[in-house]
Amino acid sequence: MSDFTAHATDDVVEAARAWVAQDPDAETRAELEALIDGAASGDAAALAELHARFDERLAFGTAGLRGELAAGPNRMNRVLVTQAAAGFAAYLREKHGEQASVVIGYDGRKNSRVFAEDSAEIFAGAGVRTILLPRLLPTPVLAFAVRHLDVSAGVMVTASHNPARDNGYKVYLGGGDHGSQIVPPTDSEIAAHIAAVAAAGPITGLPRSTDFGLADESLVYAYVAATAAVAGELPGDTSLDVVYTAMHGVGWDTASRVFEAAGLPAPVSVAAQQEPDAAFPTVSFPNPEEPGALDLAMQTAREHGAELIVANDPDADRFAAAIPDASAEGGWRRLSGNEVGMLLGWAAAEDEAGTAHGAHHEPGVLAASIVSSPALGEIATHFGLGHATTLTGFKWISRAPGLLFGYEEALGYLVNPETVRDKDGISAATRFLALALRWKAAGRTVADQLALIAEAIGHFASGQISLRVTDLSERGRIMDRLRAEPPRTLGEVAVTSFDDLATGTVPGLPVDNILRILTADGSRVMIRPSGTEPKLKVYLDVRGDSGADASAKLAALDAALRALLAA
């Protein structure tokens, strides 16, 4: 039981006691001791909870680690994070020897700073040159730091937009990876080192050192300057009434500095959500995609007569925008990730098309994840640019050769690949505000710009169904059922193609656990398990002869898919 996991009832209490003996956190020690006492006295619920925490280990993958804060190997805690740091340190020493180096950042979630400091001591103790960011900062600053400081790797302690009870551990690589997140087989190689550390014994035997560096504010200044540059030249009139929300995260301080440096109008900040708060008291789920998450921002916008709302998620790697819409409840409508992707992608394509290049210049590339709207491909074709379809996640999007702009529908955008090779909600917000000013100077609103794009490439509409599950195996059962009994129709529309991307036989598309359904009216459905949340996600994309036609097709497709999933 040296790896502190258990599979037999007789072992689980012993494994839990061994965990308590090495746990440096008084809170998690106390909760585990209470479960041990309960299990020993015959409490079935306590015993079941021990098995839930000890029968499996939280897997380290391409998204690093992410899970609920609690004791045990299947939860996020100081023991697990220490083992992860030691394993990653061993990997870096194996690859880079004495030249191995790492920069570590953290956000405002519970235990983020503690996990970051534990990691810094473990990396330094393993002989890895270690730099800790000076304070809690957005994830994009850490991604920037990997390249700016020219280190071997980066670690960001964050659970991004997950619920308040979660935290996570995201890993980046420098050098030839240019600060992108890890991809296979690196994840499995690091995971093997972590498993070896866990099997070797308690973390109390691992060497630690406080001989690590602390980055100074010049790093933040460098990020601010580089990010402000994405705004480009602004029109003479920079008046724009904007509301911004940090959603209780770490975005406001850095984003407001960038907006000021870029010459953008100072937004009205949603005061109740401006400062970091690990409890996220005003939102049930701190994700701008979730219903109700922007309610306070919309209320503030109505009070101030604003023209635009911009938002970051808690670690500021995602960006959302909302616009006035008289037909929407409350008078405001959040733009979908695909709509923002079209707006930013169109602007990137326009800039590239208007740039003088030599005779041997290869056209730049617009990239999007496989579940994002086909509209970006139409934009690329319209401007004579390249287009790449990647697996979900910016670890793949950021690696597209010749990348000009990349996005995924889950509110992630990469507008400055030469600076940050990850989604960056602050640079996206900066770019979007600058574009909104230019459109306003030309007499257009954001909605007008969307209409202009639709006239050029067609009327696209997209939607999403998120089926949240309590048992992760339920996602697999639904996928298996659909594979065994593919639908022949969706509503009244015939299915023309049902493709299982896991087979690797779909031309032009990557291998992934995704089902693709194409219909006779040109609609597309993509179904996949979420990589970071207990959800089955369904992506709907339609193209219509007009905006009203596309909306009607989308509504009918949504109803058909909900009926299929409920069957």
Q: How far is CA 163 from CA 136, 140, 410, in A?
A: 18, 20, 16
Cβ–Cβ under 8 Å, residues 164 and 280: yes
Angle between helices 9-22 and 26-40 (to 10 degrees): 160
- In sequence order, the 6+-apart residues with CB closer than 8 A to the CB of 496 are 518, 519, 520
List, in order, residues 6 or more apart from 516 with CB less than 8 Å away. Answer: 497, 498, 499, 501, 506, 509, 524, 525, 526, 527
Cis amide linkage into residue 265, ω under 30° from 0: no
Q: Please report which helix (H) or strand (E) contains residue 523, including its range.
A: none
> For the residues of 378-392, what is the DSSP string, one character each?
HHHHHHT-EEEEE-S
Let me know: does 478 contact 565? Beta carbons within 8 Å.
yes
Residues 559 and 544: their CA atoms lie apart, in Å, by 17
- CA distances to 72, 112, 285, 397, 514 from 506, in Å: 41, 41, 36, 19, 11
Secondary structure of residue 408 in the 3-state scheme: strand
Residue of 160, 336, 372, 373 marked catalytic? 160
Query: Is 284 a catalytic site residue?
Result: no
Distance (Å, whole) CA 112 – CA 106: 6
* Lookup: tokens for 61: 């993958």
- Residues 516, 526: contact at Cβ < 8 Å? yes
- DSSP per-residue codes, 274-312: SS--TT-TT-SS--TTSTTTTHHHHHHHHHHT-SEEEEE
State residue 347 phi and psi, 5-degree precision. -65, -40
- Tell me the C-alpha distance between 307 and 314, whole Å: 23
Q: What's the distance, CA 189 to chain centroid?
A: 23
C-alpha 103/C-alpha 145 separation (Å) is 7
Q: Which residue has the tokens 């635009």?
A: 308
DSSP 3-state percent helix, strand, coil across the chain (nearest 5): 45, 20, 35
Question: Contact at 8 Å (CB) between 249 and 286?
Answer: yes
The total of other beta-carbon atoms located within 10 Å of residue 214's CB is 11
Question: Measured between alpha carbons, how far is 76 from 532 in angstroms, rounded to an integer?
Answer: 14
Three-class secondary structure of residue 27 per DSSP: helix
Helix, strand or coil, per DSSP, at residue 399: coil
Residues annotated as catalytic are 160
